[in-house]
Amino acid sequence: MNLEQPKMERSLYVTRMKTLVRMTEKLLAERSAGSLLQRVTEAARELTGARSGVSMHGYTDGCFRIEAISGLDESLSSRHGKLLKIEKGGVYQDLLDKVSTIRLTDFELHHHPKWWGLPEAHPPLRGLLGARLFDRQGRVSGLIMLSDKGDGDFTSEDEALLSQLAAIASLALQQIDAQEKLQRAHDELELRVRQRTEELAESYAEIKKRAEQLRRLSSQLTLAEQRERRRMAYVIHDHLQQLLVAAKFNLEILSKHSREDRKKAIESILDLLDQSIETSRSLTAELSPQILYQRGLSAAMKWLARWMLENYALSVEMEIDPEAVPLQEDVAVLIFQSVRELLFNVV
């Protein structure tokens, strides 16, 4: 029995999980669908060992827009941003209508009853692994498609990892979409206010009224963004952390029934899982510190000072008026975020 094989498989699994955790933080930082999907496509290739990948988004009238291409030659790269029509009855159809992922060996792909071949000048495909993206209503909004795995056929673990990545990417896309809609509403209202102000330059009352509208909208934008951050923190806590904890639990059970010469390696993997769990918890706290909503701004600022000291060795002195009047939630959130960004700039 090759004792190195299980060790290598465990090491690869831990590496993949760490990559998924690392990529989650980067995905949440993206502010455009195109750049996010490019990161997703590259991460999917890294996680699964695929040599090529394509991400499509914006399903309308049977077509997707190609948003990201990775690992393919220039003949297909030139299609970036173009529409790709998904014909009824093709290999992709089950992914659109029935299942959330699809995994086919090269033989299964080319002997699939719905295989219609490839368009002219399309690079050859060797096997297929795909997952769908979904919008807030659960409708298909895009696809992540991978091919040509470097060391054989795609595995069930590859499929599970791609499914998790697609779920995270879907949530990030939903957040970007919500932010863009809010920004468009904000820009449209600003434009209307400017036009109205020019027309009624002599009316101070009208100017004051529009300024108040902008203030309320800014407050709504701040609260909306924070709600999205709290929602994303909840998703990470209830999904990604649970996966890591389950992996740790199963590995602890395995350790109890393993020989002594394997326990050291298992303990090393458990340490890595602990680090991954701690990283995801830290990310959850960064996205949405619950103390701000439970105990107010003063307690949150003190927590922030301790957090900066523990994580970045930055000593921060806080002077808070004990008689300060509690602020409205939108103002408190804005102050907390501003102070945190200033401290990050110092770091």
Q: Examine the domain organization and report whether 5 and 49 are in the same domain.
A: no
Cβ proximity of 59 and 140 under 8 Å: yes
CATH (domain of 129)? 3.30.450.40
What tokens does 65 get? 């827009």
3-state SS string over 260-321?
A: HHHHHHHHHHHHHHHHHHHHHHHHHHHHCCHHHHHCCHHHHHHHHHHHHHHHHCCCCCCCCC
pTM of the complete model: 0.51
What pLDDT was estimated at residue 101? 94
What is the C-alpha to C-alpha distance for residues 187 and 61, in angstroms, rounded to an integer?
29
Domain total in the chain = 3
Q: Which residue range(s) make up the domain with 19?
A: 1-25+200-284
Q: Examine the domain organization and report whether 136 and 207 are in the same domain.
A: no
Q: Which of 108, 138, 165 is the last residue of a domain?
A: 165
Cβ proximity of 141 and 170 under 8 Å: yes
Assess if residue 312 is contained within a domain.
Answer: yes
Q: Is residue 73 helix, strand or coil?
A: coil
What is the C-alpha to C-alpha distance for residues 70 and 39, in angstroms, rounded to an integer?
10
Assess if residue 72 is contained within a domain.
Answer: yes
Q: Examine the domain organization and report whether 72 and 159 are in the same domain.
A: yes
What is the C-alpha to C-alpha distance for residues 154 and 44, in angstroms, rounded to an integer?
12
Q: Examine the domain organization and report whether 278 and 293 are in the same domain.
A: no
Assess if residue 192 is contained within a domain.
Answer: no
Q: Examine the domain organization and report whether 139 and 214 are in the same domain.
A: no
Q: Examine the domain organization and report whether 220 and 280 are in the same domain.
A: yes
Q: Examine the domain organization and report whether 213 and 319 are in the same domain.
A: no
What pLDDT was estimated at residue 310? 84
Cβ proximity of 63 and 86 under 8 Å: yes
Q: Examine the domain organization and report whether 223 and 304 are in the same domain.
A: no
Cβ proximity of 44 and 162 under 8 Å: yes
Assess if residue 293 is contained within a domain.
Answer: yes
Q: Pairing state of beta strands 101-104 and 83-85?
A: unpaired
Q: Examine the domain organization and report whether 53 and 117 are in the same domain.
A: yes
What pLDDT was estimated at residue 87? 62
Assess if residue 190 is contained within a domain.
Answer: no
Q: Is residue 59 helix, strand or coil?
A: strand
Assess if residue 307 is contained within a domain.
Answer: yes
What pLDDT was estimated at residue 77? 54
Assess if residue 274 is contained within a domain.
Answer: yes
What pLDDT was estimated at residue 1? 47
Q: Examine the domain organization and report whether 36 and 156 are in the same domain.
A: yes
Q: Which of 238, 262, 284 is the last residue of a domain?
A: 284
Q: Examine the domain organization and report whether 109 and 233 are in the same domain.
A: no
Residues with Cβ within 8 Å of 264's Cβ and at least 6 positions away in sequence, in order, are none
Q: Examine the domain organization and report whether 213 and 337 are in the same domain.
A: no
Distance of CA 105 to the CA centre of its chain: 28
Task: Please list the rounded mean pLDDT of every run of 10 residues in the chain (347 residues).
Answer: 63 77 79 88 91 86 84 61 68 82 91 78 84 90 91 91 92 88 89 80 73 74 70 69 78 77 79 79 68 79 85 84 70 80 83
Assess if residue 176 is contained within a domain.
Answer: no
Cβ neighbour number for residue 49 with a 10 Å cutoff = 17
What is the C-alpha to C-alpha distance for residues 175 and 185, in angstroms, rounded to an integer?
15
What pLDDT was estimated at residue 275? 82
Residue with tokens 């990892």: 161
